[in-house]
Structure 1
Amino acid sequence: MTHPVLDDLQRRMSNTRKEIEAEMEAQLAEQRERFRYTLHRGKVRFERDMRALQRRYRVGLLKYVSRARLGYVLSAPIIYGLIVPLAFLDLSVTIYQHVCFRIYGIPLVRRGDHVVVDRHHLAYLNGLEKLNCVYCGYANGVISFVREVAGRTEQFWCPIKHARRNAGPHDHAHRFFDFGDAEAYRSGLADLRKDWNA
């Protein structure tokens, strides 16, 4: 069953998302010009004088660590301890999608669209700050990648809305069948399993 008001809101939200993405691309282009860097095969290249300017703002590692709060230092092993389950999750989901998505006919999720690690190119960061930025880029990217793989899996196997609203549903959820609408589920499942253009 369709819901004209919700369908209209979803369409407008999709258009707004496209506008936001276009604006973000324009801002990135402006940022590249302002801070004088280019992207070459995914690698950041700053102009020489801009790198020199950035280096003047770098806080040395010893100074950085000596000024750190004790709680920050003591919590570091907890934060970095998550690298093992994150890496295992990354590997597991990568293998899962390469095997199962090919069997199901689901388009593969491009991992590189989600896992972006580039802040280590910033000369104003010291080694520890760069490591932190690499870790955060990787961790958040893996979570984003896994969420998209899970969303596509849900669209294929169980595209039914929940009985109650959940916080932050993935991008595929609005297309799912209403909770309790057996007729729409049975009649539309095959088509939804082939429609990845939302």
Structure 2
Amino acid sequence: MDQRIQHLLNQISALESELQTELHQRETKLFYRITGKRVEFDEAVGKIHRQSKAGIVRRILDSRPQNFFAAPFVYGLIAPLVFLDLCMSIYQAICFPIYGIAKVKRADYIVMDRWQLGYLNFMEKFHCAYCEYANGLFAYGAEIAARTEQYWCPIKHAHKVLGTHARYQRFLAYGDAQQYQARLKQFREALRQQK
């Protein structure tokens, strides 16, 4: 990869990391602190949360009728999601050690903490838990797939692709056969060293 492009990618990664850290620090200073896995709010903030909670009956009455008709289709996905979760976890448990790829830590992607928000009623917490699980699962699966792709085929596409993973920009240019042969081992070694 061209040194200028590598330098720009490193700067982008560093800036993204710095931005995430800064945003998280500001949020925690203003609203909460984390003690182990528990999220704690100041008493004044907790009081505001409790006062802001909408009752379940109010929430149901405010919902559009279409939401009730769509619910079976939305929540009907739970079985396939759990099956996908199981399959991805088994896949990485068996294949990653064979390939020498560091495993993806599931808990880094599937984070279930919105139930601790006092301004959500039971139904809202249920919806949030479902979304936390589904979106976390897809992010977890995307990282498993990204590491697999880096191991087997770290090559960009000829066509523009939307929604690429973070590793993609460091992949080799489409059609660069010499770099592929020379750098495939480097890509694989990077996966072994990842924490």
Could you report, residue by residue, the CA deviation over 1:87-116 in whole angstroms, capped at 9, with x for unpaired residues? 111111111111100110001111111111
CA distance in 2, matches of 1:99, 1:157: 16
1:96-115 maps to which residues of 2 (within 5 A)? Answer: 96-115=91-110
Q: TM-score under structure 2 normalisation?
A: 0.90
Q: Does the C-alpha gap of structure 1 residues 27 and 178 become closer, same or farther in structure 2, counting only changes over 3 Å?
A: closer
Q: In the alignment, does 2:118 pair up with 1:123? A: yes
How far 1:120 sits from its partner (Å)? 1.1
CA distance in 2, matches of 1:34, 1:188: 46
Q: Does the C-alpha gap of structure 1 residues 167 and 101 become closer, same or farther in structure 2, counting only changes over 3 Å?
A: same
CA distance in 2, matches of 1:175, 1:162: 12
2:9, 2:169 within 8 Å by CA — same for their partners in 1? no
Q: In the alignment, does 2:53 pair up with 1:54? A: no
Match of 2:165 among 170, 175, 184: 170
Q: Does the C-alpha gap of structure 1 residues 61 and 163 become closer, same or farther in structure 2, counting only changes over 3 Å?
A: same
CA distance in 2, matches of 1:58, 1:15: 42
Q: Does the C-alpha gap of structure 1 residues 66 and 173 become closer, same or farther in structure 2, counting only changes over 3 Å?
A: same
Letter aligned with residue 27 of structure 1: L
How far 1:179 sits from its partner (Å)? 2.4
1:10, 1:174 within 8 Å by CA — same for their partners in 2? no
CA distance in 2, matches of 1:76, 1:14: 43
2:156, 2:168 within 8 Å by CA — same for their partners in 1? yes
CA distance in 2, matches of 1:10, 1:73: 50
**Partner SS, residue 193 of structure 1:** helix
Match of 1:17 among 8, 13, 16: 13
Q: Say which is worse superposed, 144-153 or 79-88, in terms of deviation.
A: 79-88
How far 1:150 sits from its partner (Å)? 0.3
Q: Residue 80 of structure 2 aligns with which residue?
A: 85
Could you report, residue by residue, the CA deviation over 1:19-48 in whole angstroms, capped at 9, with x for unpaired residues? 23323322222222222x221112212233
1:115, 1:141 within 8 Å by CA — same for their partners in 2? yes
Structure 1 spans left out of the alignment, 5+ residues? none
Letter aligned with residue 24 of structure 1: Q
1:126-165 maps to which residues of 2 (within 5 A)? Answer: 126-165=121-160
1:3-42 maps to which residues of 2 (within 5 A)? Answer: 4=2, 7-35=3-31, 37-42=32-37
Q: In the alignment, does 2:175 pair up with 1:193? A: no
Structure 2 spans left out of the alignment, 5+ residues? none
Aligned length, in residue pairs: 193
2:6, 2:170 within 8 Å by CA — same for their partners in 1? no
Moved over 4 A (4+): none
Q: Does the C-alpha gap of structure 1 residues 59 and 133 become closer, same or farther in structure 2, counting only changes over 3 Å?
A: same
**Partner SS, residue 56 of structure 1:** helix
Q: Does the C-alpha gap of structure 1 residues 17 and 180 become closer, same or farther in structure 2, counting only changes over 3 Å?
A: closer
CA RMSD of aligned residues (A): 1.9
Letter aligned with residue 108 of structure 2: D
